[in-house]
Amino acid sequence: MPRTTVRDGLCCLSAYLEELGAMELKKFKMYLRTATETGEGTIPWGRMETAGPLEMAQLLVAHFGIGEAWLLALSIFDRIQRKDLWERGQREDLVRDIPPGGPSSLGSQSACSLEFFPGTPRKDPRETYRDYVRRKFRLMEDRNARLGECVNLSHRYTRLLLVKEHSNPVWAQQKLLDTGQGHARTVAHQASLIQMETLFEPDEERPEPPRTVVLQGAAGMGKSMLAHKVMLDWADGRLFQDRFDYLFYINCREMNRSAPERSAQDLISSCWPEPSAPLQELLQELLRVPERLLFIIDGFDELKPSFHDPRGPWCLCWEEKRPTELLLSSLIRKKLLPEMSLLITTRPTALEKLHRLLEHPRHVEILGFSEEERKEYFYKYFHNAEQAGQVFNFVRDNEPLFTLCFVPLVCWVVCTCLKQQLEGGGLLRQTSRTTTAVYMLYLLSLMQPKPGSPTLQSPPNQRGLCSLAADGLWNQKILFEEQDLRKHGLDGADVSSFLNMNIFQKDINCEKFYSFIHLSFQEFFAAMYYILDGADSGSRPDHSLTRLMNEYGFSERSFLALTVRFLFGLLNEETKSYLEKSLCWKVSPRIKVELLEWIQSKALSEGSTLQVGSLEFLSCLYEIQEEDFIQQALSHFQVVVVSNITTKMEHMVSSFCLKNCRSVLVLHLCGGAYSTDEEDGARGTSGHQTLLAQSPERNVLPDAYSDQLATALSTNPNLIELALYHNALGSRGVKLLCQGLRHPNCKLQNLRLKRCRFCSAACQDLRAALITNRNLMRMDLSSNALGLPGVKLLCEGLRHPKCRLQMIQLRKCQLEAGACQELASVLSANRHLVELDLTGNALEDSGLRLLCQGLKHPACRLQILWLFGMDLSKTTHRELAVLRGTKPYLDIGC
């Protein structure tokens, strides 16, 4: 009789366990725990406790082999009073396959020792490897974990938003902290989202499963944690079971310092739990079905430059030893085993280099946490539900801080800081709203005094730590050797204290190398290098503040972007007070002056128009949160144009800074992509077209946005033009804005509110502004759902004797024939109105006849009338032609 296979035995054992009731299965686990607690094959209780019948069978077979697993199960069936299962199990081939003399019960100590029998089938190498992967990836250490502290990855991991994305390096990693609400657009387009389970599945574009998946994400987006979770879920039987037999994890940090020469066989051996075990048989199996292999290459962007384009013949043989750069490059380029699959994680900055090595990869981008996942993360982080709810509600009420929590790393920083405040017995308090403030709070939490100590534990030689960070930044280096530490005056004692304090950690996988806990924290300390009093940046022109700013140039794509934002944020008076009073770190008083001088110099050389890099510039000013500094910085510009404002955070940044401008004449804030084609109505667009399709699909902006812009109107007597294209103000926002328009100090002449998502209710406030503000001459309200009620209110203001408006644009405002009677009355009463744009409204012939009555009035001063995009009859066109003849100065476009 043929020997029973492991697969058959596993299925049979699982079927027996499925016959147990819930309470019986629980008893089975308790007896199994007692019976095996003295043996070497003990199954961790944490894994047994939640296991179902199938997983329980897998655990038994994986730990003891199929024969021993049956003997254990039969003995426990007997003890939990399931004689039927015990008797039936005795007749199974699995029992008869065990040779005579083998133990039949666990009643004796010798049986409890669980020694393997000669007749027991050898353990499946895949199960051996899965067990090793579980042990390696089950537990994780937090960045500030103390000795022995760890967290179950499955208990902490929170689902990330993944979206299919082609290579697009424009999404630079340095913008990771201010893209919060931009996720709403992605979530709204569900078709582009992808689940982890379908990364290697075909889709409409790819009829064949992709062999390479590139997982891109900015710093702190959770790329490595996701890679670890893939490994763990595969080992636990929850992911890629029908797709891959083996997954191998390659850490690019380790590859940087691996042996100079390695073979692919060596690489597999380093991933295997028992290097001494014979691997030739395994390797032969891998080579037979290479399409069942998945290599996870984690952190491609961290590889040294020599890995990106190595020179020399490719590695084509498993046994051949080649330079490590060539070996890894051969894997990525599919020169070695082209049928295998790859999952590569990287930051966006390395996408172009990676793209040159790959052929038709699937690109997937990590967007971080949705709002629901943020809440889930808080509840997973805090084991106490009451605490979790308290902290989550606190953070949610602080919109900018909550927005930043879409980045998993920032979410962890916020939870870490607030947890320490709770444990200290203090009430949660309102924290600052900037990125720098979040990182400063994290730094302070790391330096909290030990019990009985009255002062914070400031790390020794902070200058050396900051200069190490800056030096690494300029050289784009994140791994440091001991000689690097010595160069900056950091000896072994300093490093040991940083490890204990979790400011500067020793990489647990590369013991001879050191790194900051994350690149963003390296950038944080690099910024401090430039502000600390007595820092030697002046003695090193290559590291000077001037070079830093010139290299950065307010470009969001610069690798220095986050560092410069931190630099501005650290100069905030409250933050500086933390550094000087709490940490005893002296801040140079010259830095603010030098920054203002640099901004002035840039404005003099490039002109008084701030447009290129304007949002990045305002983001830096937002970090400092000081009105006097912002006013001085913006005093050199007369025109400010901020384009593609796509998130609430970006709107808040812009409005906060610009409320403090005192010399700007023209201000344009453009949300997202909007049409600038002045003839867009000429394509026959109907006035009945739904405005929702033309407006941004996102919530109305917070009141604070409009309130701050109203402040700019009332405090800047020089501002004469304000354009808010594609800003979701809503009627409430327009109401607040009009408060600024009615202020005596407001000298605005041109107001453009195209596509700002307000309706007729806002026209009541616009009417009051038209009457009160006698400087206002031009107004664009296009692509807002005003309708007849809104036009009636506007016309009340336009007919008022105090109204001085000369031009009004009402394109695509859902106006119909009835609105023309109101507009005709304006034409006969307003002696200042010279231009009217009604393009894209369904006025029809009847409406135009009413409008012509006003145009014919002797008091009408209108010179330009736009009527594009209307379906008018020949009779109406003839009437308009006659009107042109009687009023030659009237230009009618239709």
Highest mean pLDDT among 76-85, 98-107, 171-180, 791-800: 791-800
- Do 692 and 556 belong together in one domain? no
Q: Tell me, what's the pLDDT at 316?
A: 64
Q: Which residue has the higher pLDDT, 423 or 588?
A: 588
pLDDT tens across 771-821, in order? 999 999 999 999 999 999 999 999 999 999 999 999 999 999 999 999 999
What 3-state DSSP class applies to 160?
Answer: coil
- Do 813 and 873 belong together in one domain? yes
Task: Establish if 504 belongs to a structural domain.
Answer: yes
- By the 10 Å C-beta count (0-12 exposed, 13-18 middle, 19+ buried), 499 is classed as middle
How far, in Å, CA of 839 to CA of 843, rounded? 10
- For the segment 106-116, the average pLDDT, to the nearest whole number, is 34
Q: For the ranges 205-219, 345-359, 379-393, 589-603, which has the lowest average pLDDT? A: 345-359
Under the banding of pLDDT at 50, 70 and 90, the label for residue 656 is confident
Under the banding of pLDDT at 50, 70 and 90, the label for residue 42 is confident
Q: Which residue has the higher pLDDT, 29 or 799?
A: 799
- Do 397 and 525 belong together in one domain? no
| Percent of the chain surpassing pLDDT 90 | 25
Best CA proximity match to 315, nearest among 293, 298, 301, 332: 332
Task: Establish if 95 belongs to a structural domain.
Answer: yes
- Do 188 and 264 belong together in one domain? yes
- For the segment 212-236, the average pLDDT, to the nearest whole number, is 89
Q: What element of type H or E holds 835? A: strand 835-837
pLDDT tens across 608-630, in order? 898 888 889 998 999 998 889 99
Other C-beta atoms lying within 10 Å of the C-beta of residue 386: 8
Task: Establish if 597 belongs to a structural domain.
Answer: no
DSSP string, 56-95: HHHHHHHHHHHHHHHHHHHHHHHHTT-HHHHHHHHTSHHH
Q: End of a domain among 78, 100, 123? A: 123
Number of helical (H) and strand (E) elements in the chain, helices listed first: 40, 22
**678 token code pair:** 């002045």
Residue 650 has pLDDT above 50, yes or no: yes
- Do 263 and 145 belong together in one domain? yes
Residue 633 has pLDDT above 90, yes or no: yes
Phi, psi (degrees; rounded to nearest 5) at 588? -65, 130
Question: Residue 108's domain spans which residues?
Answer: 6-123
Task: Establish if 620 belongs to a structural domain.
Answer: no
Q: Tell me, what's the pLDDT at 632?
A: 93
Angle ∠(770,776,781) on CA atoms, nearest 5: 70
- Do 399 and 523 belong together in one domain? no
C-alpha to C-alpha distances, 200 to 157, 237, 597, nearest whole angstrom: 21, 17, 53
Q: Which residues are paired to 152 by β-bridges?
A: 139
- For the segment 851-859, the average pLDDT, to the nearest whole number, is 89
Highest mean pLDDT among 44-48, 226-230, 484-488, 725-729: 226-230
- Do 75 and 142 belong together in one domain? no
How far, in Å, CA of 410 to CA of 422, rounded? 18
Q: Tell me, what's the pLDDT at 336?
A: 80
Residue 680 has pLDDT above 70, yes or no: no
Helices of type H across 450-553: 462-474, 482-487, 492-501, 519-531, 545-552
How far, in Å, CA of 174 to CA of 284, rounded? 45
Q: Tell me, what's the pLDDT at 503?
A: 36
Q: Tell me, what's the pLDDT at 722?
A: 93
Q: Which residue has the higher pLDDT, 508 or 44?
A: 44
- Do 313 and 392 belong together in one domain? no
CB burial readout 762-790, b (16+ within 10 A) else e: bbbbbbbbbbbbeebbbbbbbbbbbbeeb
In this structure, what DSSP letter does residue 587 have?
Answer: B
pTM, whole model, 2 decimals?
0.57
Asked whether the beta carbons of 229 and 417 are under 8 A apart, the reply is no
CATH value at residue 214: 3.40.50.300
In this structure, what DSSP letter does residue 292 have?
Answer: G
Best CA proximity match to 562, nearest among 519, 595, 607: 519
Angle ∠(818,824,825) on CA atoms, nearest 5: 105
Task: Establish if 466 belongs to a structural domain.
Answer: yes
Q: Tell me, what's the pLDDT at 789?
A: 94
Q: Tell me, what's the pLDDT at 893?
A: 82
pLDDT tens across 305-322, in order? 766 666 666 666 777 787
Task: Establish if 868 belongs to a structural domain.
Answer: yes
Q: End of a domain among 390, 414, 431? A: 431
Task: Establish if 641 belongs to a structural domain.
Answer: no
What 3-state DSSP class applies to 713?
Answer: helix
Under the banding of pLDDT at 50, 70 and 90, the label for residue 4 is very low
What 3-state DSSP class applies to 515?
Answer: strand
- For the segment 362-366, the average pLDDT, to the nearest whole number, is 88
Q: End of a domain among 564, 589, 614? A: 589
- Do 220 and 347 belong together in one domain? yes
How far, in Å, CA of 240 to CA of 225, rounded? 17
Highest mean pLDDT among 70-84, 308-322, 644-658, 737-751: 737-751
**Type of residue found at 686:** S
Q: Tell me, what's the pLDDT at 146?
A: 64
pLDDT tens across 548-566, in order? 999 888 887 788 888 999 9
pLDDT tens across 572-594, in order? 988 888 888 877 888 888 999 99
How far, in Å, CA of 645 to CA of 649, rounded? 9
- For the segment 874-882, the average pLDDT, to the nearest whole number, is 85
Residue 494 has pLDDT above 60, yes or no: no
Asked whether the beta carbons of 496 and 502 are under 8 A apart, the reply is no
Task: Establish if 439 belongs to a structural domain.
Answer: no
- Compute and round to an integer the Cα radius of gyration of the chain: 35
Q: Tell me, what's the pLDDT at 100?
A: 39
Backbone conformation region of residue 802, classed left if phi is above 0, alpha if psi is from -120 to 50, else beta: alpha
Place of tokens 């759902």: 785
Calculate the average pLDDT of the chain.
78
- Do 762 and 869 belong together in one domain? yes
C-alpha to C-alpha distances, 496 to 448, 493, 506, 508, 523, nearest whole angstrom: 17, 5, 9, 13, 21
DSSP string, 838-878: -TT-B-HHHHHHHHHHHHTSTT----EEE-TT----HHHHH
Specify the pairing of strand 139-140 against strand 151-152: antiparallel
* Structural domains counted in the chain: 5
Q: Tell me, what's the pLDDT at 706?
A: 87
- Do 750 and 706 belong together in one domain? yes
Q: Tell me, what's the pLDDT at 227?
A: 96
Asked whether the beta carbons of 613 and 554 are under 8 A apart, the reply is yes
Q: For the ranges 67-81, 728-742, 746-760, which has the lowest average pLDDT? A: 67-81
Q: For the ranges 291-295, 585-589, 861-865, which has the lowest average pLDDT? A: 585-589
Q: Which residue has the higher pLDDT, 191 or 195?
A: 195
Asked whether the beta carbons of 449 and 484 are under 8 A apart, the reply is no
pLDDT tens across 705-744, in order? 888 889 889 998 999 999 999 888 889 999 999 999 999 9
- For the segment 474-489, the average pLDDT, to the nearest whole number, is 82
Highest mean pLDDT among 415-419, 542-546, 834-838: 834-838
**349 token code pair:** 């900055």
How far, in Å, CA of 159 to CA of 153, rounded? 12
**Type of residue found at 861:** R
- Do 281 and 349 belong together in one domain? yes
- By the 10 Å C-beta count (0-12 exposed, 13-18 middle, 19+ buried), 702 is classed as middle
Q: Tell me, what's the pLDDT at 165?
A: 62
- For the segment 387-391, the average pLDDT, to the nearest whole number, is 86
Q: Which residue has the higher pLDDT, 50 or 807?
A: 807
